[in-house]
Structure 1
Amino acid sequence: MAVRQVASIHFKNFVSKAWSPIDPDETRKIPEGDKSMVRENILGFVTQLPPLLRAQLGESIKTLILADYPEQWPSLLHWVTHNMESQDQIFGALYVLRILSRKYEFKSEEERIPLYQIVEECFPRLLNIFSTLVQIANPPIEVADLIKLICKIFWSSIYLEIPKQLFEPNIFNAWIVLFLNLLERPVPLEGQPSDPDARKAWGWWKVKKWITHILNRLYSRFADMKVHKPESKAFAQMFQKNYAGKILGCHLQLLNAIRTGGYLPDRVINLILQYLTNSLTKNSMYQLMQPQIDIILFEIIFPLMCFNDNDQMLWDEDPHEYVRKGYDIIEDLYSPRTAAMDFVSELVRKRGKGNLQKFIQFIVEIFMRYNEASIEVKPYRQKDGALLAIGTLCDRLKQTDPYKAELERMLVQHVFPEFSSHVGHLRAKAAWVAGQYAHITFSDQDNFRKAMHCVISGLRDPELPVRVDSVFALRSFVEACKDLDEIRPILPQLLDEFFKLMGEVENEDLVFTLETIVDRFGEEMAPYALGLCQSLAAAFWRCMASSEADDEIEDSGALAAVGCLRALSTILESISSLPHLFIQIEPTLLPILRRMLTSDGQDVYEEVLEIVSYLTFYSPTISLDMWSLWPLMMEALNDWAIDFFENILVPLDNYISRGTEHFVSCKDPDYQQSLWKGLSSVMTDQNMEDSDIVPAPKLIEVFFQNCKGQVDHWVEPYLRLTIDRLRRAEKPYLKSLLVQVTVQLLYAGYVLCFVRYYITKIMIIYFHIL
């Protein structure tokens, strides 16, 4: 098996690179005869291979379909439809049809035309297969795998636009009836894994997830009649009338499992709650929900907001992962707790009358029971959920009578005591809630000070999640603090805790808080600037290393890396009046700049250029090390960075205007020649829009204004270049810039006595412009 797996991976990688190479001159092209042989034989292996190898083969088939269908592979659709008729080939046909339909999932209407033929040819057969599978008594897990493929095919086919074939009421009804049948039907008990991770990935739960996904998509597309094309309004009305309520009822029935201690995968809960949340805005749907709203709110939604066994296990066993999941945007998209918070927020926003009051009363009762209970039986997890609810509703409560007048008292009575709780997750939640309300008007400033100092103390908490939530909350207190003398005496200790925490976690919010502190204290940060930059640079490299090593955390690592760069810019701005500090900081930042000014830094290029701009503008002089960055920027501009030309202009201006002598005299590298190569390439490129090259004439002006009398040999080439581009200019702003450059160069040319050669051409162009 190992040898076969290596072979399948090698084949996949070879096909990915060589089947349709990006570079037309790529030498490793596959001859057309070999391609035909592959297309004729590859599909037959789908059903013959075990899942591990099939996944690699599927990637190869995907490459072929993306490149060749339908033009070079017209027989593919016939192969699919033919094999859908053969019972022992159904899996292979559906597997390939899934890949084929996915090609068009995000395509525009014009590009989706081949999909409509696929639907026309395959969906009648697909519906028959689906119906047959649903009717099987005591189905084995292989049936779930087939149904899951059918759901994925349907999802890809309807994601952007519903094919007109499905607008036919009887056909659409047949699909929905089957979806609802499966959604209402209990999953088989036999064969269900006991391991939590294996359980949520089990085929029958995956079927529930995909059906819920599909129904949510249909509802989000057809819930609002105002956004529809005329031809689909009748379908939307039919969907609202006949199906939206049935789906809601089915979802509520599924959620009942939570009340009775049953199991639902987190993703299914999340999707169902999204459907309920979207339903709150429609009167007809809310009327269906209203009789059960108390059950939904107090027996389903609120328990999901409470700290649970999984939270405790993660808190104890892997606090770093607990922190990552708590601050990960992607995790939020799939989290039942986040979906529950969204439901509560939308409920009080859209249906606040009555619901807000009874929900707050419910929270108050939890607070009272907690306060009255002995320490052994206090409902700690319910208190955690109640605090989460109060924090979630902060914007609403700040604006609503009578609650806004009671917020300070609520904090003092029910939040402040938890700062000293022996339960770690309550200390963390207290810090988070305090941060949510840091901007309210405190009648007693001692309460503000107490909250802020409790949050600052949380930075030294033995539990990592408490420290991170305290950092998050501190940002709000620093923003809201009117008297910085409250923080100033402890600023060194505060920054020490930041340095320690930055060495432990990659958290974007930590960097945001640091930015806020730097912004508020300005030049007072000077004594700490070098240490801060060193810590941020180290954090940046850790973020880069983790995102490169683990694809699953690539997004969060990249976000934290961007945050580090932004914080570095904030620090450099705060010490802009202290040039000597830039000399000390520069060696720390140079390795980052050298790496990220290449194509490796495309995602953070704007932030990196801002740092280069600060270093080249505020340093007493531009060092030779900083000059080594010039070729990197010009190489990027000539290759892939034209979209960043406006950003590149700033440091290039600094190099020329503040390092004129070195710019003019140095011949290795030759900066003048490098500039000419870049600007002439941009300005002669026929594919460049006027808006793309606006920085070019600005840079020419910078060049001649700062190097006057030292670069006379460049006047004629630049004059010729500018005149040629002026002929093609269409946008008034670019014309104006080019005219300014022309005038400047004409004056220089007059001094050099060759202006007469160009004056006639220029006058003709000027008259044409006028």
Structure 2
Amino acid sequence: MDTRKLTEILRATIDPNQRQQAEEQLSQIHKIIGFAPSLLQVVMLNDVQLPVRLAGVVYLKNLVTSGWQDKEADDDDPTPFSIHEQDRAMIRDSIVDAVVQAPDIIRVQLCVCLKTIIKHDFPTRWTQIVDKIHIYLQNPEPNSWMGSLLCLYQLIKNYEYYLAEKRVPLMEAMNLLLPMMYNLIVNLQADQSPESVLIQKQILKCFYALIKYILPLDLITKEIFTKWMEVLRTVMEQPVPDSTLQVDEDVRMELPWWKCKKWAVHTLYRLFERYGSPMNAREEYGQFADWYLTTFTGGILDALFRILDQYRNKIYVSPRVLQQTISYIDQCVGHSHSWKLLKPHMFAIIQDVLFPLMSYSDADEDLWNTDPHEYIRIKFDIFEDFVSPVTAAQTLLITCCKKRKDMLERTMHLCMQVLRIQAEYGPKQRDGALHMVGTLNDILIKKKHYKEEIDSLLSQYVFPEFNSNLGYMRARACWILQCFACIRFKTEPLLIEAVRLIINALLNDTELPVKVEAAIALQMLLTSQDKVHLYLEMQVTQVTTELLKVIRETENDNIANVLQKIVPLYTKQLMPMAFEITDHLATTFSKVIETDSGTDEKAITAMGLLNTMETVLNVMSDNPAIMAQLEKTVLRVVGHILHHNIIEYYEEAMTLLCDLTTKSISEDMWKVLELLYQVFEKEGFDYFTDMMPVLHNYITVDTNAFLSNENHIIAMFNMAKAVSYFSYFILTLCSSPFFFCFYNM
């Protein structure tokens, strides 16, 4: 195929005026034998503009992803397109070379192609990839190393979830390539240039992928393992160039040196957690775990202590390296051998590392002041917890205070000292002390000595902070009440005061993060303290109105959960507000799905809002007049979901429809049946199980109305017939109430 003509077509795809015609041309010629290899050729032409090459590689990626594997045609359907074997052979011959030679932006897309090719062709049709990687790693030219390592990474990742017996082809390849990886990283460690360190990082990523789920002891003998442990230790201890301190902290963690250290500590943590810990390791790694613990613990802890010393001395350590370091130490606490080495240092770590980490930081303050919405998002982001050094600090604090003698007493002494001697310690340190106390709540509540003092702690050191002129201290006071909401208050006035302070913070505080913490504290108190129901009753409408405002402003699913708790408890009081509540929730839902739709956080928030709507419908179900009001608002939400095919919310939408059809079916709801039939025809029976309760209601709640319209019967019959064609559903669905009612009518 003429590469010049293909280049012109690709160039036209990035011109808005020619794009449609160019895409049609590509659609006409992409099945021609020779097209895919020619496309790869164009992608690798250095004299072609980069945007054109990028358009070509994206098209190639999509072509390979969808058309590499041979597909069988369904009955009466034409055979689906797949790339001809002749073209596949040509691409296999050149794809590794292409990855090695391509610029990074092209290389990323080629690696996706490579992933697909390896998945389907290695080792049966393509063992040569191993030889290609081997040749490039042997090449003294450094420019070939990164690309070949990226190819190796895709090869290893392909076997990531395979059982040991199915990893034989990979093990055969690694017998050849693992020693080369080792030699390369050892030779590079003297060179701390960015290019060298990035290659070292990629080698560590390959090694991590190799040992992530299975440690191949036949491949990695004790001698080889020891060598790799020395590599990891060296990477951890390598000084980071002073020039990195000139880079803004927000992006410093992305520098090659910190990325390399991150993968070193990440690998160490994985090795210890999965294979080196006698308490956690599977039976086949038992002997290895004992050997690991006694052989490497001392050296690794020394290296980790040096990292913590840097943090202690105000020398920058990237958050991810710090988090993994603390997590490794957390694993050490439970082992007697490692604890002997750790014990002399542990309280110093609590005092000089965990305590500062758990205190309100300058970065927290900056974010609170500049973007309180982002502050709230990060603080309540469950995904952030997996990589946060603060969360790692909390975990280590709990572990050592729970498992090791004297640690709880010494930690509490430190916290109380900070809280009592306010002249010596500032508010940020008081925040840290309260953070530590709240983190240890479950342990303190179970210790009689500390349990007896919690009331005093709240009245002396927590309640006064509600009047602080610092928003973060007011937020911390609310958070502490969340932690100790379940205690048995010694006096009722103390509980009344706690509720008063929380309600006041929710209704009157000017800082949004404080309102969020206050709302969650109120939920905790309502859940744990029966008397709180009475204390809140007089202000429940004000509280509910404020919660709706906070939900709309923050889009935080935790606040929606608070509302879910309140609505069933105060149904009578909130009846006049039912429409306002539902309308607020519907408006917020629309706002959430229209901005940044598709993210996990937004999906969680949207589901929380839908679930709260369901709660409102459930508690108002005995009031037909209110239900009639709510129906229009809820149908606005459900209609948007169904019309726009937002399938991730179908289950919640069907639940709402079920609630609206449980006792009666309005004219608008009969129109929804037509929409459900359209959804069924479009989506097939993927969501039929979610539809069944609604369909059951349509048949049984108002049978006469159902039978009066022939279209209802035809739609229901067609759905039943379509589903019954599949044997799986015959057993599972035909016994359902829907089918029982339909076939017995």
Q: Is the shorter-chain TM-score for this pair beyond 0.5, marking a shared fold?
A: yes
Contact 1:216 1:275 in 2 (8 A): yes
Show CA shifts across 1:194-237 (max 9, x none).
21133101111111100111111111112443665554322222
1:222/1:240 contact within 8 Å kept: no
- 1:569 counterpart = 2:614: yes
Query: In 1, are the aligned partners of 2:276 and 2:288 still within 8 Å (CA)?
Result: no
Determine if the alignment matches structure 1 residue 98 to structure 2 residue 150: no
1:703 maps to 2:738: no
Alignment of 1:509-520 (within 5 A): 509-520=558-569
- Alpha-carbon distance in 2 for matches of 1:186, 1:34: 49
Q: What is aligned with 2:685?
A: 639
601, 606, 628: which one aligns with 1:583: 628
Q: Paired residue for 2:591?
A: 542
* Residues 352-390 of structure 1 deviation map (CA, whole Å, 9 limit, x = unaligned): x311111111111101122x46xxxx6010011111112
Asked if the contact 1:582–1:619 (Cα under 8 Å) also holds between the matched residues in 2, the reply is no
Measure the CA separation in 1 of the matches of 2:333 and 2:198.
Answer: 34
Q: CA deviation at 1:246?
A: 2.4
**Are 1:464 and 2:505 matched, yes or no?**
no
CA deviation digits over 1:296-331, x for unaligned, max 9? Answer: 110111111001111111111111111100000011
Instruction: Give the SS at the match of 2:538.
Output: helix
Is contact 1:525-1:575 (8 Å) kept? no
Give the letter for the 1:631 counterpart: Y
- 1:437 aligned to 455, 479, 484, which one? 484
User: Deviation string for 1:511-562 (max 9, x for gaps)?
Assistant: 11111101221343221111111111122222222342xx6xx111111111
Measured in 2, the distance between the counterparts of 1:654 and 1:637 equals 21
User: How far does residue 483 in structure 1 lie from its aligned partner after superposition?
Assistant: 5.0
> Identity across aligned pairs (percent)?
28
Per-residue Cα deviation, 1:437-495 (whole angstroms, up to 9, x for no partner): 22222222222122212212222322111111111212112222415332122122112
Tell whether 2:170 aligns with 1:115: yes
1:397 aligned onto 2:397: no
Q: Which residue of 1 aligns with 2:413?
A: 361
Q: Gapped runs of 5+ residues in structure 1?
A: 708-770
Counterpart Cα distance in 2 of 1:116 and 1:614: 56
Give the one of 640, 646, 667 matched to 2:710: 667
CA drift of 1:613 comes to 1.3
- Give the SS at the match of 2:442: helix
What is the distance in 1 between the residues matched to 2:455 and 2:582?
38
CA distance 1:132–1:684, shift in 2 (3 Å): same
CA distance in 2, matches of 1:212, 1:590: 52
Task: Find the aligned partners of 2:431 and 2:352 in 1 and give their Cα distance.
Answer: 16
Q: 1:130 aligns to what?
A: 185
| Letter in structure 2 aligned against 1:383 | R
Alignment partner, residue 728 of structure 1: none
Over residues 88-132 of structure 1, what are the superposed CA-to-partner deviations in whole Å (9 max), with x where a residue is unaligned? 222221121112211222334454333222322311222221222
TM-score by length of 2: 0.87
Q: Distance in 2 between matches of 1:251 and 1:636?
A: 57
Superposed CA RMSD = 2.4
Q: TM-score, normalised by structure 1?
A: 0.84
2:540 aligned partner: 491
Q: Is 1:318 matched up with 2:371?
A: yes
Counterpart AA for 1:200: M
CA distance in 1, matches of 2:273, 2:145: 32
- 8 A Cα contact 1:598 1:636, kept in partner: no
Q: Distance in 2 between matches of 1:49 and 1:79?
A: 16
Rounded to whole Å, the distance in 2 between the matches of 1:683 and 1:426 is 61
Distance 1:23 1:344, change over 3 A: farther
- Whether the 8 Å contact between 1:599 and 1:636 is mirrored in structure 2 is no
- 1:636 CA drift (Å): 7.1
Matched, 1:427 2:427: no
Alignment of 1:22-33 (within 5 A): 28-33=81-86
Whichever residue aligns with residue 368 of structure 1, its letter is R
How far the C-alpha of 1:689 sits from its partner, in A, is 8.5
Helix, strand or coil: the match of 1:484?
Answer: helix
**CA–CA separation in structure 2 for the residues paired with 1:315 and 1:263:** 22
Match of 1:16 among 41, 60, 65: 65
Deviation at 1:86, TM superposition (A): 0.9
Deviation at 1:694, TM superposition (A): 4.3
Aligned to 1:339: 392
Deviation at 1:629, TM superposition (A): 4.1
The secondary structure found in structure 2 opposite 1:614 is: helix
The one of 690, 713, 717 aligned to 1:676: 717
Say whether the 8 Å CA contact 1:583–1:619 is kept in structure 2. no
Q: Post-superposition shift, 1:17?
A: 3.7
CA distance in 2, matches of 1:231, 1:483: 54
- Higher deviation after alignment, 210-219 or 479-488: 479-488
Q: Is the 8 A contact 2:277 2:293 kept in 1?
A: no
Q: 1-side partners of 2:154 and 2:308: how far apart?
A: 32
Number of aligned pairs?
Answer: 687
1:115–1:519 distance in 2 versus 1, CA, 3 Å? farther
Distance 1:74 1:674, change over 3 A: farther
2:621 alignment partner AA = S
Q: Give 3-state SS (helix, strand or coil) of 2:215's partner.
A: coil
Determine the structure 2 residue equivalent to 1:526.
Answer: 575
- 1:241 is the counterpart of 2:294: yes
Is there any run of 5+ residues in structure 2 with no aligned partner, and where? 1-49
Q: 2:261–2:321: 8 Å Cα contact kept in structure 1? A: yes
- Alignment CA distance shift 1:83-1:390 (3 Å): same
Whole-angstrom distance in 2 between the partners of 1:289 and 1:601: 52
Contact preservation (8 Å) 2:523, 2:565: yes
Separation in structure 2 between the aligned mates of residue 636 and residue 614 of structure 1, nearest angstrom: 24
